[in-house]
């Protein structure tokens, strides 16, 4: 550092310039802003809050956020997708705060905005980086047309545990594929941050959130550094290497220290080792939650997070109270300046410091276009994974079909748990099949879940109305429909909010009422094709034995229904491959393809004492990582090794 300063002084002296002149225009601009800022205004830039509804109607006047924006005590807002609202907030910041620094507008757009794409776990199953990048690009074009400038995407937490509901948000269990996914998402979102539809990405959740103990959300992760660096860190690093502008912390602790207060992670690994230069935002109230981790009071945890290298505090509002800590010397002015500078740099990268309303154009015509919807349909079909097929698929349109199951007429569920804004428009499979002129008899057959309250929560009330008939009455209707048809299409699985945040499960079975429906359908003797809606690996041994075919359609997004018709009727050949292992039973978890041998590996799936196996289950999964059939058959043969030996490195 000393050498560099000396070098700069010498070279500036030689050129007759001061080091200040050598700064780029942007550095100068940011320096000028920082020089005018009070300590409170600097801390304000670090404050990231939910944008409450009502900036336009004026109801915000009294709830506090507006006052904070006017006082320069907020740097970014998130969670509001309404262009007029965002415009009102931006005007407030620019025209009514002392320094007029524009706000960033964040949003959880992780698989599409209004045009919604398959959930990330499904998107990863395409194994197609072009499709991944295209999803990010279209999401960004649409979100930025509404004024959003910062996507909380990509989520790249490696996960080997289907009990964890958030595995739906990531690309699965493989470090390499997840890294490809991370880079593609960053490229698609940020481009080179020059155009008015290129905005900030945010890789999350740093770090190791997907290894949360027992598949439960918000828990601890205890892991060796070797496993971190080899197996769990690569996707975050790939995002950094691709130039991601921001990083979000995770809720879990890492080897005893909450990630959000973990200096080793946020500074040593992320910045010193990987060279990350953007800003770090905490997850939602993750700073405040360190109190319950047992770290200290609100002041202590805020100090710890800032000192660890977190630049922006989402929702705790602990950073804005750090002036006293600066005076007491617990947080240095330099650390505050640095964090503030990083947030301002991000705003500058977007061009907001010169043109605060740059993204707030009225561009409805760029949203949910025919072109975007066609891409969503194609990519949805590309993500479906054919898990079994006893020669019943593709279906001939001449067949009479009994379409049953609670997901057959619940199009609003197909957008998954982090949908942007389109679920009202989302077509159901029943509608798509009817529009396609297919010969269909529909019967819902069962409700989604046994428990009515849980069902409402899991369906998020998206137009889903529970059927008030008895289970036997509903099943009887479905069985009658099956008897009058050639084949049964059963659209069953998890409603959208049974996956995602705070949706851990101990059973990965198809929910019980739907399973009983399947059993009754099988007893009719008609071939049953299972269309599985899921956001995680499921346990499907009985289904594998009893269904004529199984197609995992995940949550395919706003065009899912037409895409399902495309694949079921053979217009598109299924090509998706699993990116998370499907276990036979929950007891096998964690189960993943790159397990080590150990000293006594089991050579077969049958039980052998003193080898590494179970007494009551094979080791092998039901469907391994990479598995997925198509309508074509392939023969592999004529293998040969390129060499007989392989060196250790």
Residue of 253, 283, 313, 552 marked catalytic: 283
| DSSP-assigned states of every residue in 572-589 | S------SS-B-SSGGG-
> Of 500 and 513, which CB lies nearer to ligand BGC in the complex structure?
500
> Of 114 and 204, which CB lies nearer to ligand BGC in the complex structure?
204
Task: Tell which one of 82, 337, 486, 501 touches ligand BGC (CB under 6 A).
Answer: 501
Bridge partners of residue 550, in order along the sequence: 388, 530
- How would you write 426-479 as a 3-class SS string? CCCHHHHHHHCCCCEEEECCCCCCCCHHHHHHHHCCCCCCCCCCCHHHHHHHHH
Torsion of CA 154, 235, 352, 27, to 10 degrees: 170
Shortest Cβ 404–ligand BGC spacing (Å): 35
Binding mask of the shown chain, residues 156 to 195, with x at each position contacting ligand BGC by CB under 6 A: ----------------------------------------
Is-contact 248 150, C-beta < 8 A? no
Shortest Cβ 356–ligand BGC spacing (Å): 23
Q: Report the C-alpha gap between 235 and 440 in whole angstroms.
A: 44
Shortest Cβ 250–ligand BGC spacing (Å): 8
Kindly provide the residue ranges of all beta strands, DSSP E only, lying in 211-342, ordered along the sequence.
246-249, 253-254, 257-258, 279-281, 313-314
Shortest Cβ 265–ligand BGC spacing (Å): 16
> Of 151 and 448, which CB lies nearer to ligand BGC in the complex structure?
151
Shortest Cβ 90–ligand BGC spacing (Å): 20
DSSP SS3 for 247:
strand
152 interacts with ligand BGC by CB under 6 A? yes
Is-contact 417 166, C-beta < 8 A? no
559 interacts with ligand BGC by CB under 6 A? no
DSSP annotation of 393 reads P
Among 525, 334, 566, which residue's Cα sits nearest to residue 432?
566
Shortest Cβ 591–ligand BGC spacing (Å): 25
Is-contact 167 161, C-beta < 8 A? yes
Number of residues counted as binding ligand BGC (CB under 6 A): 6
Q: Report the C-alpha gap between 289 and 348 in whole angstroms.
A: 31
> Of 248 and 352, which CB lies nearer to ligand BGC in the complex structure?
248
Among 494, 574, 509, which residue's Cα sits nearest to residue 539?
509
Q: Report the C-alpha gap between 545 and 522 in whole angstroms.
A: 11
- Burial letters for 227-247: b for 16+ Cβ neighbours within 10 Å, e otherwise? ebeebbbbbbbbbbbbbbbbb
Shortest Cβ 215–ligand BGC spacing (Å): 16
Q: Would you tell me how many other CB atoms lie within 10 Å of the CB of residue 21?
A: 10
Shortest Cβ 146–ligand BGC spacing (Å): 17
Task: Tell which one of 80, 163, 187, 204 touches ligand BGC (CB under 6 A).
Answer: 204
> Of 260 and 579, which CB lies nearer to ligand BGC in the complex structure?
260
C-alpha separations of 609 from 347, 358, 598, 600, 615 in Å: 62, 68, 15, 10, 8
Shortest Cβ 427–ligand BGC spacing (Å): 27
Q: Is the link from the previous residue into 590 a cis peptide, with omega within 30 of 0? A: yes
Kindly identify the residues of this chain, within the stretch 325-344, that bind ligand BGC according to CB under 6 A.
none
> Of 251 and 533, which CB lies nearer to ligand BGC in the complex structure?
251
Task: Tell which one of 146, 283, 494, 566 touches ligand BGC (CB under 6 A).
Answer: 283
> Of 173 and 283, which CB lies nearer to ligand BGC in the complex structure?
283
Is-contact 558 425, C-beta < 8 A? yes
Q: Would you tell me how many other CB atoms lie within 10 Å of the CB of residue 568?
A: 25
Task: Tell which one of 284, 319, 555, 592 touches ligand BGC (CB under 6 A).
Answer: 284
* Helical H segments across 469-540, by residue range: 471-483, 512-523
Q: Report the C-alpha gap between 117 and 133 in whole angstroms.
A: 12
> Of 260 and 581, which CB lies nearer to ligand BGC in the complex structure?
260
> Of 240 and 510, which CB lies nearer to ligand BGC in the complex structure?
240
Is-contact 618 584, C-beta < 8 A? yes
Rounded to 5 degrees, what are φ and ψ at 121?
-60, -35
Kindly provide the residue ranges of all beta strands, DSSP E only, lying in 221-283, ordered along the sequence.
246-249, 253-254, 257-258, 279-281
Among 411, 372, 336, 182, which residue's Cα sits nearest to residue 274?
182
Q: Report the C-alpha gap between 557 and 382 in whole angstroms.
A: 12
> Of 417 and 485, which CB lies nearer to ligand BGC in the complex structure?
417
Tell me which H or E stretch contains 529: strand 528-533
Shortest Cβ 199–ligand BGC spacing (Å): 15
Q: Report the C-alpha gap between 159 and 173 in whole angstroms.
A: 5
117 interacts with ligand BGC by CB under 6 A? no
What does the radius of gyration of the chain's CA atoms come to, in whole angstroms? 27
Task: Tell which one of 41, 85, 108, 173 touches ligand BGC (CB under 6 A).
Answer: 108
> Of 82 and 501, which CB lies nearer to ligand BGC in the complex structure?
501
283 labelled catalytic: yes
Shortest Cβ 109–ligand BGC spacing (Å): 10
> Of 134 and 204, which CB lies nearer to ligand BGC in the complex structure?
204
Shortest Cβ 204–ligand BGC spacing (Å): 6
Catalytic residues: 283
Binding site for ligand BGC (CB under 6 A): 108, 152, 204, 283-284, 501
């Amino acid at each position: 550092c000393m050498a560099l300063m000396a070098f700069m002084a010498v070279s500036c002296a030689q050129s007759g310039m001061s080091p200040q002149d050598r700064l780029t225009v942007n550095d100068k601009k940011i320096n000028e802003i920082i020089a005018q800022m009070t300590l409170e205004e600097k801390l304000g830039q670090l404050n990231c809050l939910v944008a409450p509804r009502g900036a336009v109607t004026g109801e915000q006047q009294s709830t506090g956020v507006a006052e904070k924006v006017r006082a320069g005590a907020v740097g970014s807002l998130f969670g509001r997708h309404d262009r007029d609202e965002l415009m009102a907030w931006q005007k407030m910041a620019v025209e009514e705060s002392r320094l007029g620094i524009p706000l960033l507008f964040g949003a959880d757009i992780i698989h599409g905005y209004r045009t919604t794409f398959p959930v990330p776990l499904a998107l990863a199953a395409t194994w197609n980086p072009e499709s991944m990048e295209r999803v990010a690009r279209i999401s960004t074009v649409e979100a930025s047309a509404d004024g959003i400038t910062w996507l909380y995407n990509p989520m790249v937490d490696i996960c080997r545990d289907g009990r964890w509901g958030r595995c739906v948000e990531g690309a699965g269990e493989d470090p390499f594929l997840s890294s490809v996914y991370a880079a593609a998402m960053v490229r698609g979102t940020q481009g080179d941050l020059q155009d008015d539809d290129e905005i900030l990405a945010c890789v999350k959740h740093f770090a190791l959130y997907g290894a949360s103990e027992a598949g439960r959300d918000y828990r601890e992760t205890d892991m060796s550094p070797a496993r971190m660096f080899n197996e769990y860190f690569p996707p975050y690093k790939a995002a950094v290497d691709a130039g991601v502008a921001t990083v979000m912390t995770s809720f879990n602790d890492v080897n005893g220290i909450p990630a959000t207060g973990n200096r080793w992670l946020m500074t040593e690994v992320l910045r010193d080792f990987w060279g990350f230069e953007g800003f770090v935002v905490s997850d939602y109230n993750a700073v405040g939650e360190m109190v319950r981790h047992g770290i200290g009071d609100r002041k202590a945890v805020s100090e710890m997070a800032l000192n660890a290298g977190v630049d922006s505090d989402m929702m705790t509002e602990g950073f804005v109270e750090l002036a006293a800590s600066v005076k007491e010397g617990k947080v240095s002015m330099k650390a505050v300046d640095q964090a503030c500078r990083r947030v301002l740099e991000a705003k500058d990268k977007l061009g907001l410091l010169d043109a605060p309303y740059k993204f707030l154009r009225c561009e409805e015509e760029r949203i949910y276009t025919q072109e975007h919807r066609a891409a969503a349909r194609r990519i949805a079909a590309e993500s479906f994974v054919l898990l079994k097929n006893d020669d019943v698929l593709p279906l001939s349109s001449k067949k009479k079909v009994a379409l049953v199951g609670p997901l057959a007429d619940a199009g609003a569920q197909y957008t998954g748990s982090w949908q942007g804004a389109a679920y009202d428009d989302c077509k159901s499979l029943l509608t798509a099949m009817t529009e396609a002129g297919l010969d269909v008899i529909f019967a819902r057959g069962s409700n989604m879940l046994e428990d009515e309250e849980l069902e409402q929560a899991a369906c998020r009330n998206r137009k889903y109305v529970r059927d008030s008939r008895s289970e036997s009455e509903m099943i009887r209707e479905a069985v009658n429909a099956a008897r009058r048809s050639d084949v049964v299409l059963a659209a069953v699985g998890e409603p959208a909010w049974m996956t995602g945040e705070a949706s851990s499960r101990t059973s990965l079975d198809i929910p019980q009422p739907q399973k009983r429906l399947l059993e009754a359908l099988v007893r009719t003797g008609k071939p049953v094709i299972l269309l599985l809606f899921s956001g995680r690996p499921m346990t499907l041994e009985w289904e594998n034995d009893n269904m004529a075919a199984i197609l995992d359609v995940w949550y395919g997004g706003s065009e899912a229904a037409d895409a399902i018709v495309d694949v079921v009727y053979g217009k598109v050949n299924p090509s998706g491959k699993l990116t998370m292992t499907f276990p036979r039973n929950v007891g096998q978890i964690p189960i993943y393809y790159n397990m080590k041998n150990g000293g006594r590996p089991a050579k077969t799936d049958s039980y052998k004492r003193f080898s590494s196996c179970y007494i009551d289950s094979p080791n092998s999964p039901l469907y391994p990582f990479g598995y997925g059939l198509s309508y074509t058959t392939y023969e592999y043969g004529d293998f040969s090794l390129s060499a007989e030996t392989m060196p250790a490195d």
